[in-house]
Structure 1
C-alpha cells in the first residue's frame, strides 16, 4: 500500500514539474507601441500598451507609428509601430527565470517625432551589455554592404541563462539622443549551452557562464530557409553562397531519403531540412586533392566564438569513404574526420562544436574543410550541411566595446574600498612613481655622460615603442625590435639621415592636409626638402605592425634598386620617431586613375605601359637578387605613378624572401589583401612567386574593366571581379565589361591577348600560371599589337585624306597647283615618335 502511495506521489510531482516546464516554454511576444494583440506567422503578439501583461515598463516613452513598412519580412505588420525612449527605460519580466532566447527587432521607419538615423543607445539585460552606442541605420547599412543584401530591418538574437529570479531588458539612450524598439521576443527554453568546450589549442571554457549572441546561421548547399523549432523559435538560415571564398572549390548535393537525428539533443539545434542538402569538395574525382572549401565571416574582434558544424552523410553508406580535416582560422580543429563514423550511419544528423578566440584587430573568422595530410587522396573530399556561429560574452559584454567599463547594473551592489585599502593603494602608487622617477633621472645622467665622452657620435638610438609599453614583456619585445631596427640602419644602405627639424619643416609640422596615405604603420605625408618633393612615411608609436613592416621594407629596399621600384631616399631617427623618406610619385596610385576619383581616364596604351612597368618591377624582385623576393601584396594601390606615368612597385612591408634553391615554396602564415589573395597560398599556406602572379592577374582585370575587385553594391554574380571576368572570358564575351571610358579606342586583338594573359595568371594551381618573365614578354607583345593597330589606323586616315584631296582636285581643276601643298602638310608620325 505504501509502495502504491509512493508511486502516486512520484507521478504527481512529475506532472507538476512537466506542467511547470510547459508553462516555461510559453513565449512572450511583444508588439512595441501597439494597443492591441494581433496574430502574425501563427503566433499571438501582445501590444505593450495593454494592462495586465506579465511585464512592466518603467518609463513609457513615446509611441510612434507608420502606415506602411515596405519590408520583405513576415514581421512586416509588427513593424508599423515602435516605442521611443528619451530616458532610460526597462522592460521587467518579474515572473520569469531560467534560460531564454531574446530577440530584439529594429525597423527605423521615418517619423516626425525623432530622427532614427541619429539614434544612439545601449541595451542591457541582467548582467550583460548587449549593444553599446548602437545606431540601427548604420548597422543595417554595414550589414547590407557585407552581404550584398537590401535589408531594411535588423533582428538581433541572444541566448541568456540568467540564474536570477527575473529578467529585465533596459534601453539607455545616449546623451541628446533616443532609443527605440519595434518588437521583443522572449522565448524560454529548457535546452542549455551547459557543457564546457575547449578553445582551439587552449583551455576549456564553460558556456553556461556566458551570454551568447547568434551571428550566423547558414544552410550549406541549400536555399534561404525559415523554420519554427520545438521551442517556438523561428530560425532563419541563409544560403552560404555569398560567404564562400571560392565557389569553384565546392559543389551542392542533396538527398531525398529520410534523415533522422543521431540523438535527441541534436533536434534542438537545427531542423531536418538543413541536413538534406550539403556542400562537398568539387574535385572528388581528382587524384591529387589539395583544395579546401573556405568560408569567411565578418565578426567582432577580441571575443570567443562557438563554431557549430552540422553534419549528415548523404552519399556514402560505409565508413572511411570520406575523411577530411577541419580548420578554423588556420588552426587544426579536427583531423581524419569521418562523418559516417561519428554519426554511426548514413542519413544521421548531428552537430559538432568548436571554440576559437579572436585577438584584437582581427575581425574575420575563417572556416576551411579539406584534405587531411594523414589520409589518402582517395577519401579526402569534405562535406558540410549547416553552420552556426555564436559570439560569447567577455567580462559582461556582448557589445563590441569589451574594454569599456559600464556604470553597474540594477540590483548589483557596488564594492567600496575600506579606508586602509585606500591608504595601501596610495602608498604603493607613490612608491612606484618615486622608483620610476629615479630610473628616469639615472638614465638621463648616463646619457649625458655618454654624450660628453663622445660628443661627435652619430649612432642612432631608436626605441620607438618604449613609451607605449605597459608591461615588462612588452618592454623587452620593444627593446629587441628597436635594436633590430638600429642594426638595419647601420648595416644597410639607408641613404641620407634627415633631422626631425628637416622632416617637420618639410611637412609643415605634420600638417594633416598633407596626408596622402594611411596604413597600419601610420601616415604618409607629402613634403618638400631642398626643393625636392618627397613622400614621408611616419610610423605610429603604438603600431607593432608598423615596426615589423618598416623593418621588412628597409631590409628589402636597402638591397634592391630598380627603375620600377619606388626608391628610398633616407630616414629620420630622432626623438623616438620612426620615419622613412621616399621619392614622391606625382600621379599617385594606379587605382586612383581607374576608379573612385576625378582623375582623367587612362588610355589603353597608358594602361598597357603601366602594366609592363609593374611587371618589370616584379620580375626584378623574382629574379634580380641572389634569392628571390615575393612582394605578397600586389594591388592597384601599391602601384604608384610618377609625373610621366611610369609605374613603380611600392609598399614592401609584407614582402618575403622566396624559397631557397632546394625548396619549392616558403611555408608561412597567410597575409595579403582580400580579393587579390592567391587561393592556393590561402589553402596550403605555401608561398611562391606564383602568388604574386595571381595577384597581378587580378590587377590586369582591374585595369581592363576599370572597377574595384570587390564591389558589394553590384548583383551577387558580379561582386567579385575575378569570378565575373573569368566567366565572361570563358564565354568569349569579356568585351561587355571593358571600361566604357576607353570608348573603343583599342585594337580587338590586343585586348583579347591582354585578357588571355590575365586569365592564365589566375589559374587555380600555381604550376599552371606563367612566370612574371613570361607575363612581361606577353604584355610587351600586346603593346606591339596595339602600336601596329595605331600605325595602320594613321595610315588609313592619311590615305582617306589623300583620296579626299584628290577628289576635290578633280572637281576643281584650277586648284591642282595647291595639291602638293596639302600633301606636304600631312605627315605620318614615325613609329617611335615620342610625341605619341
Structure 2
C-alpha cells in the first residue's frame, strides 16, 4: 500500500483546522470572565468533590463561608450514585451559611438534597435567603419530584456584602439538611428582563428555575457546555403529541452573533440555538404546544429563545406565540429584529397567575402564522422561572417573619434557674468583676481579648496620641458612657475615630471587652468597622474607621444642620441601618445572634456617601440559645428608646432592638429627638405624641411630619414608613416584626417614593 504525501498533508491541515475551530468554539461558548462570586460547598464532607466539572469544597474548609457548627451534625453514606450526595450537614436548630459577596447583583443559589436516612426523608424545614423564603416547610418525602435526589435552582438579587442562607427546622422534632450548596454570580445583563416585552424591574423579586429546555435536541446540554453551569434538558416529555412535530438541528458554528448585546452566549449557548422544534409537512395552520405543571397563585417569567435555522432567506418565516392561550406575539418575523437568519433572539414574558380553568398547568404554543410565505413555527429553547409572591415566598404563604417567629417559639422545658444557684452565680460574678477592676486600676489586668485570628490591629498608646494630637480638644467629636471620642489621622493618612475609656468609668472594662468581642467577628457594610485597639497600663482605647458625616441624630436635628436630609436619603439610611441589625439578629460571626440593646439615632453613623453604619456595641448581648425564647438580664439602654416589655420583665429579645428602631423611624419622619424635655408634657415623648396624634386618622401624618419634607416626601411612601414604625412600637414583642420584615417594608417605601417621582417627571 502506498500513500500520497500531498494528500496526507492536506488531511493533517484539515484535522488541525477542525481542532482549532473546536477550541475557538469551546472558548466562545462559555463566558470569558469567571464569576466574581463562585462558591461550591460540599456540606459535611471532609474531602473535595468533583461534580459536573467543578470542585466542591468542604463547608468547614471554605475561608469565605461561615456557618453555625454548634448545633450541626454530619451524615455520610457510600450508597448513593454520586459523591455529591454521599454526605450531608444537618441542623437541629435554625442555622445559617454566610457567604462573602464580591458582586452586588443577580446570583444563582443552587441546593442539592438527598436524604441519607429516614429521619432526613421525613423532616420538614424551610430555607431563607436574605429576605426571601426559598423553601417553605419542605420535606423530601412530600415534594413533587420523580428522582431519588433533588436539585433546586434559585435566582436572587444580592445588594449586601454578605448573603445569609438560613435553614430552619419546622418542628422541634425535625432537622434541616443540605448535601451541597452553590452560589454563583450572574452578569447583570442576563437578568435585565424586559428587553423585548415591557414589565416591571425584578430586583425585589426572587426567582426559582422550574424548567430549562433545549427544544429539538436529542440529549441534554450539560453544564460544562453552558455558561454559569446551567443544564438544559430535552423537551419531548412536555410536548403534546403531534405528528407534525419535527426536530431540527444545525451546526453550532453557524450561529451568528446578535447585534443586541443582551443576547450573548452567556444568555444561552450556541448548542441551544442550533437545535429547534418545528413543524413539518405544513398544509394548513398548525401548532406545537408544551404543557408544564405549575403552582397556582404564582406568576412566572417565560424566556423564549428563538433562532431561525430553517429558512433560506430573510422574511420567510412568520408565526404566532401564545402563553396560556394569551397572545404574546402575532405574526412574529424574527428577521425583522435580527436582520438576518441564524441569529439568536429572546422574548421575555410574564404571565398572570395560572388560570382558574387549568390552574395546575402552564402552556406555551407556537403556531404557523397562516401567511403563504411562512407556514411554519419554531422554538429553540425555553426557560420558566417562578416569581416570589407578595410575602417574598417561592413555596408558600409564610413570610420570613413567620418562618423565624416559628423557629424562635422554643420555650424552656425544664426550670433551670434555682434561686440558690442564681445567688451563688451572682456572687461569683461580682467577685470576678471586683478582681478585674482592681487589676485594671493597678495596671496589671489579664483581660482576655478576642482578635479573631488577627483581624484587629493592636495600636500603641503613643501611636494614638500622635494621631489625635494628644487628644487635643479640637479633635474631640463626641461623648459616651465609655468615654470621649476623638478624631485622628494615622501616618498612612487613614482617618480614625478613637474611643478613650474614662478611667473613672465602672462600665469601661465591660464595654471595652464587648466591643472587641463582637466587632472582631463581624463584618458588614452597615456596621461600623473596628480597626483595632490599644490596651496599655490603665489606657483602653478603641480605634474605628472615621465616619465623615457623623451620626444620624446630628443630621436630623443637630444644631449645625445646613442642608436637611431629603426623604430619599433618610429612607436609604434607614434601610442600611435595618440591614445591619438584620445581619446581627440572624446569627453571624460565630454567634447565635446578637442583640444590640442600644439602637438609637446617635448610634447610626454615616460615611462620606451617607451609608449607614450601626455603632456602639458596648452593651450588646448574644441572643437566646436555641432552647430559650429570651435572655434574662438587667435593663440597659437609652431612655426614650427602651422596649417597655423589656423594661418591665427584664426579658431581652431581638424584638427589643425592633422597638428601638421604631423610635428611630419616628425621628426620621418627624425630624425631632425621642425625648425633648423643653416641650410641653404631652409632647415630650416622641412615640406617645406621634401615636396619639395619628391614632385613628392617617391624614394627621401631615401634622407630625418634619416640615422640611413637605413637597419632597411622597404621601404613600410616608404612609408605608409610618405603618412599619407603628408595627415596631407594638407593646407586646410577639406582635412586632423582625428586622428582615422592617428592611423589606422600608425598601417598599423607597420604591413607592421613586415610582411616584418618576411618574411626576413625565
Superposition TM-score tier, normalisation by shorter sequence: 0.3 to 0.5
| Larger helix percent | 1
Bigger RCO of structures 1 and 2 (CA < 8 A, at least 6 apart):
2
Query: What TM-score results when the alignment is normalised by the length of structure 2?
Result: 0.47
Structure exhibiting the larger radius of gyration computed from Cα positions: 1
Query: What TM-score results when the alignment is normalised by the length of structure 1?
Result: 0.43
